[in-house]
Amino acid sequence: MPFDPNLHHRRTIRLKEYDYSQNGLYYVTICTKDRECLFGEIVDGRMNTNVYGEILESVWNGLPSHYPNVVLHEHIVMPDHFHAIIQIDNECVGVSNVGAGFKPAPTNGQPPTKHGLSEIVRALKTFSSRKINELRQTQGASVWQRNYYEHIIRDGEDYTMIANYIMENPLRWEENNKI
């Protein structure tokens, strides 16, 4: 079927005119393509990651070295998806990794680049896909669904509810995936 913009359009869940590169806490869920159980399995309410799940975990943990405005919070690798809370903190852009706390002088009078949520999620998906496909010898194959779910965390109560949901997700797996 040829592309028809009246039929083939994605509805955005993003807030209009909201700057997703500003300081804040964001909850994201990213699903594998076709909900393939790629990252491991749930056994007795615990997620046991396989080598692909370990790759995802490693890429997640490496994000702050690529994006100094990112602070990682709760997350969970599930068999066919990934939940995480990402904090964007532009006050830490350019802070030395050795803890000196000095920001470098802007280049040519320009402030350091502020990376937004979509860039951070894109990097997580791209880096993990590349490494997983290299191991599977399936270069270029899709690992992830095209979109992702996002939610701006508005207050401490919202944060606590989402953090608990993330950490308890493996316990609900068998209940939610009964055949």
Higher local confidence (pLDDT), 137 or 100: 137
- Residue 18, pLDDT score: 77
Between CA 115 and CA 120 the distance in angstroms is: 7
Higher local confidence (pLDDT), 91 or 58: 58
- Residue 21, pLDDT score: 84
The mean pLDDT value for 134-151 works out to 94
Q: Which candidate, 30, 4, 52, places its Cα nearest to that of 146?
A: 30
pLDDT band at 19 (very low <50, low <70, confident <90, very high): confident
What would the pLDDT profile of 73-111 be if each residue is shown by its tens digit? 999 999 999 999 999 998 876 543 433 333 344 555 555
Between CA 173 and CA 165 the distance in angstroms is: 12
The mean pLDDT value for 36-43 works out to 96
What class does CATH assign to 24-94+113-170? alpha beta
- Residue 177, pLDDT score: 76
The mean pLDDT value for 24-37 works out to 96
- Residue 61, pLDDT score: 97
pLDDT band at 115 (very low <50, low <70, confident <90, very high): confident
Which backbone phi and psi does 162 adopt, to 5 degrees?
Answer: -70, -45
CA separation, residue 31 to residues 26, 81, 150 (Å): 16, 4, 12
Between 16-20, 27-31, 42-46, the lowest mean confidence (pLDDT) is in 16-20
The mean pLDDT value for 15-20 works out to 74
- Residue 104, pLDDT score: 44
User: Contact at 8 Å (CB) between 53 and 59?
Assistant: no
- Residue 101, pLDDT score: 35
